Amino acid sequence: MRPDLLTHTVQNNMPIRKAGKLQDFFADNNRFILVLLLPVVLFFLVLNALPTMWMVGMSFRDYSLISATKTAEFIGLDNFVYLLSSNSVWNSLSKTFTFVFFGVLIETVIGVLLGFLFWHSTEMTGRRLALTLLFSPMILAPIAAANYFKLMLSPNFGVINYIISLFNNGKPIEILSSVDYAFWACLFVDIWMWTPFMLLMTLAALGSVPKAELEAADVDRLTWPQKFKHIILPHGKFIMMLGILLRTIDSFKTMDLVWGMTTGGPGNSTELLGIGLYRVAFSSLNLGRASAYALITLLIAVAFTSIFLFILNRKNIEEGLSK
């Protein structure tokens, strides 16, 4: 209840209570809103903004966990120069973009296809069970899924490799130890985990399509591609874009899944940005350079988000222009 309402009387004959200082303070609606926002703002400042600012400052300094009492010397852009001239970082960037591109693309395609399969299929036998099973990978902890697949892919006792060996003259394939296969195995598990998310978003997008318009399209005998282009896509595309945006950001920061499966190896064939950053911070213990690494990663993530937000907001912009 708003504080100014506290001073109202409920019966005509009752005297109006005199407002206290606190009530006077809250009488201003804007002030009240600010006070309500204060905990969130404080939370954001203490746990988000300040550490980020600290990280930005640290990225220009030479600071290692093993020289904790030494002065963190200001070294300008040295950390950035080192990172941007490092083959290892460019390799991680390349791997990450490949991982994001193929991961999100395949998850979206399969998710959309499955979404259409389950759309308007309330009569389908076993629909609920199928959807529950399909969604289950998404709710697993990535590290658990990683270990699960690591064991199944083991060339010594993994069930997947056992099946492979049946078709390969009894020889298993060293999938996670191979520079040729390890990356794609990690990508496969990511797709296995997150395709259900895109299925969920597709179902939400399709649910937002007005039934009346679809019925009208049926009456007008529109073909399926026409229905898709003129009715389904305009209504569903923003939810789908939101899904793709969320998956892109999430995929970009993948770390635990790949760490659990290969720890970035063999060699550096699965070393995504998150793993590279972890190594600089917690293997090399160079926190200055790790901060620069994190800042570069953050800027790329912000760029991604901006592009997607621009696309998402395009509808409003277009509507604004047409008015």
Nearer to other proteins, 7 or 64 (CB): 64
Rounded to the nearest angstrom, the gap between the alpha carbon of residue 103 and the centroid of all alpha carbons in its chain is: 12
Asked whether position 288 contacts other proteins by CB under 8 A, the answer is no
User: d(Cα 193, Cα 141) in Å, to the nearest integer?
Assistant: 10
Q: At its nearest, how many Å lie between other proteins and the CB of residue 274?
A: 16
Binding residue (CB under 8 A) for other proteins from 46, 267, 303, 313: 267
291 belongs to the binding site for other proteins (CB under 8 A): no
Is the Cβ–Cβ distance between 32 and 3 less than 8 Å? yes
Q: Is 283 in the site for other proteins (CB under 8 A)?
A: yes
Among 4, 174, 213, 256, binds other proteins (CB under 8 A): 174
CA atoms within 13 A on the CB side of 195: 20
Stretch that binds other proteins, among 109-117, 231-239, 260-268, 311-319 (CB under 8 A): 260-268
Shortest reach from residue 213's CB to other proteins, in Å? 55
* Least gap, CB of 161 to other proteins (angstroms): 8
Binds other proteins (CB under 8 A): choice among 3, 264, 274, 288: 264
Q: Which of residues 294-323 bind other proteins (CB under 8 A)?
A: none
Name, in order, each residue with C-beta under 8 angstroms of 93's C-beta and a sequence gap of 6 or more. Answer: 273
Among the listed ranges 37-45, 168-176, 198-206, 307-315, the one in contact with other proteins (CB under 8 A) is 168-176
Site for other proteins in 126-155 (CB under 8 A): 154-155
Minimal distance in Å, beta carbon 296 to other proteins? 19
Does the footprint of other proteins cover residue 268 (CB under 8 A)?
yes
Cβ(277)–Cβ(167) under 8 Å?
no
**Which of 151/302 has CB closer to other proteins?**
151
> Under rule CB under 8 A, how many of the chain's residues touch other proteins?
34
For 83, list phi and psi in degrees, rounded to 5: -65, -45
Contacts of 51 (CB under 8 A, 6+ apart): none
Residue with Cβ nearer other proteins (165 or 305): 165
235: left (phi over 0), alpha (psi -120 to 50) or beta: alpha
Measured between its terminal Cα atoms, the distance across the chain in Å is 39
Yes or no: say if 245 and 308 are a contact pair by the CB < 8 Å rule. Answer: yes
If the CB atoms of residues 176 and 240 are measured against other proteins, the closer one turns out to be 176
Q: Which of 59, 286, 291, 297 binds other proteins (CB under 8 A)?
A: 286
Which region, judged by CB under 8 A, interacts with other proteins, from 26-34, 230-238, 275-283, 302-310? 275-283
In contact, 201 and 243? CB cutoff 8 Å: yes
| 223 scored as a contact of other proteins (CB under 8 A) | no
Q: x/- contact string, 57-96, with other proteins (CB under 8 A)?
A: -----x-xxxxxxx-----------------x--------
Contacts 24+ apart (CB under 8 A), 89-93: 89/276, 89/293, 89/296, 91/268, 91/271, 92/268, 92/271, 92/272, 92/273, 92/275, 92/276, 93/273
The tokens describing 238, both together, are 């923003």
The pair of structure tokens assigned to 56 is 């930005």
Task: Quote the CA–CA distance of 166 and 161 in Å, as a whole number.
Answer: 9
266, 300, 305, 312: which one contacts other proteins (CB under 8 A)?
Answer: 266
Q: Residues in the site for other proteins, rule: CB under 8 A?
A: 62, 64-70, 88, 154-156, 170-172, 174, 176-179, 262-269, 279, 282-286
